[in-house]
Amino acid sequence: MTTEIDEQAPAAPDPLALENQVCYALAVAARNVVALYRPILEPLGLTHPQYLVMLALWEQSPRSVRGLASALSLEPATLSPLLKRLEAAGLLTRSRSASDERMLDVALTEKGRVLRATAETIPPRVAAALDMSVPELQQLRGVLHRVIAATVG
């Protein structure tokens, strides 16, 4: 016997519905955010992966290729073509480490250091494009870092 209440009860959410998947939300959000950066970075002559390299070097320069790859969670072989293009653009140099010939050091050039001042306008422009407040973005970043920490290893 079906009652009126049973007929009006909401259906349980489908655990396999696409919109309920964390992987889907992360993949679409990542793709869309990276696309948002494209026109912002274009006048600087940078792609999004190159921008990430520059961010790491603006934090610390020089850095070893291995240290840079670790900071970016990339394999050194993946990083190498990015570094070659940034070197060709005059933003960084690659040279053998004085302390260990097996290591390759990456350092910003003057042009690379100067670019930082222009790049400082990027985070507020991205926040505005996302229509999110700084506290919201900080909270999101914190959650994403927890996701990263839980999936590394």
Distance CA 87, CA 68 (A): 15
**Boundaries of domain holding 113:** 17-120
* pTM of the predicted protein model: 0.86
pLDDT in tens, the chain (153 residues): 555 555 677 788 898 999 999 999 999 999 999 999 999 999 999 999 999 999 999 999 999 999 999 999 999 899 999 999 999 999 999 999 788 778 889 999 999 999 999 999 999 999 999 999 889 999 999 999 999 999 986
- CA neighbours within 13 Å on the CB side: how many for 26? 10
* In a domain? residue 21: yes
> In total, how many domains does the chain have?
2
Distance CA 64, CA 96 (A): 9
Same structural domain, 92 and 62 = yes
CB 92 within 8 A of CB 83: yes
* In a domain? residue 12: no
Same structural domain, 128 and 146 = yes
* In a domain? residue 142: yes
Distance CA 108, CA 115 (A): 10
